[in-house]
């Protein structure tokens, strides 16, 4: 089991840890990490690790059996030994862009209140696929509404509920293709705004900025036809 430090503090850029194992593919399994593991449409973090006598560039991080996270080296070089103390540092600029895009996509699902059938997060842009038979009539109005939400500088916070509570409230889940992370007894809810200013609440295991103004201005790009009932809406950090 790896302690996912990014879940409690998305702004943590480095940490010490200990190597607990190696995967057959050459990944480094650690007891705790700041590296986000690929999942939910968000790429794994890249960065570097250092130990006594060695240093490796990390290309990404992935989930492994037993609740572990493995750091995947960019090159097939010598790995730190099991038990070694390990300093971990993420590529913060890339992670922060993922956080901005991810939070913007939550707000996109507010201005387009339709079921989400897929999504992807990048360092410059992101997209959501919607169950939308017809494309939106006024894309400029959607972009204005999205940036207006961003400009309200709403707080982004999280809460936890049990798996049973989520199952009893299926309306919290906006995604049709990706189920929220369950199976550990509790599920993380990401809330944008509070009280009368709350605009969104949904289960999510990714990383987000702490306030919406941190996203900056975004642009809505091409609306793609992805089937008779699906439209893909792309956004870009301006």
Distance CA 197, CA 194 (A): 5
Helices vs. strands in the chain: H and E counts, helices first: 4, 15
- Counting Cβ atoms within 10 Å, is residue 25 exposed (0-12), middle (13-18) or buried (19+)? exposed
Give tens-digit pLDDT for 199-225. 999 999 999 999 999 999 999 998 999
The Cα angle at residue 120 between residues 47 and 175, in degrees rounded to 5: 130
Give tens-digit pLDDT for 24-40. 999 999 999 999 999 98
pTM listed for this prediction: 0.93
Q: Is residue 152 helix, strand or coil?
A: coil
Q: What is the pLDDT along the chain (238 residues), one digit of tens a residue?
A: 999 999 999 999 999 999 999 999 999 999 999 999 999 899 999 999 999 999 999 999 999 999 999 999 999 999 999 999 999 999 999 999 999 999 999 999 999 999 999 999 999 999 999 999 888 989 999 999 999 999 999 999 999 888 777 777 777 777 766 666 655 678 889 999 999 999 999 999 999 999 999 999 999 998 999 888 899 999 999 9
DSSP per-residue string spanning 175-200:
BSSS----SSSEEEEEEES-GGG--E
Give the position of tokens 């699902």. Answer: 109
């Amino acid at each position: 089991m790896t302690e996912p430090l990014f879940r409690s503090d998305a702004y943590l850029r480095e940490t010490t840890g200990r190597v607990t194992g190696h995967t057959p593919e050459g990944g480094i399994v650690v007891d705790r990490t700041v590296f986000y593991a690929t999942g939910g449409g968000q790429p794994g973090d890249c960065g570097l690790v250092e130990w006594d006598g060695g240093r490796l560039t990390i290309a990404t991080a992935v989930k492994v059996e037993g609740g572990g996270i493995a750091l995947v080296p960019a090159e097939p070089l010598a790995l730190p030994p099991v038990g070694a103390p390990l300093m971990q540092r993420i590529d913060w600029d890339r992670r922060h862009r993922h956080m901005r895009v991810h939070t913007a996509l939550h707000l996109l699902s507010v201005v387009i209140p339709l079921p989400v059938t897929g999504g992807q997060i990048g360092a410059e842009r992101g997209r959501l696929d919607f169950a939308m038979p017809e494309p939106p009539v006024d894309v400029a109005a959607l972009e204005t509404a999205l940036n207006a939400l961003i400009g309200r500088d709403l707080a982004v916070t999280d809460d936890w509920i049990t798996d049973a509570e989520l199952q009893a409230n299926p309306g919290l889940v906006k995604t049709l293709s990706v189920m929220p992370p369950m199976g550990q007894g509790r599920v993380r809810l990401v809330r944008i705004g509070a009280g009368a200013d709350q605009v969104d609440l949904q289960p999510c295991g990714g990383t987000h900025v702490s306030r919406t103004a941190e996203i900056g201005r975004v642009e809505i790009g091409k609306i793609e036809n992805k089937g008779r009932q699906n439209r893909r809406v792309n956004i870009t950090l301006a």
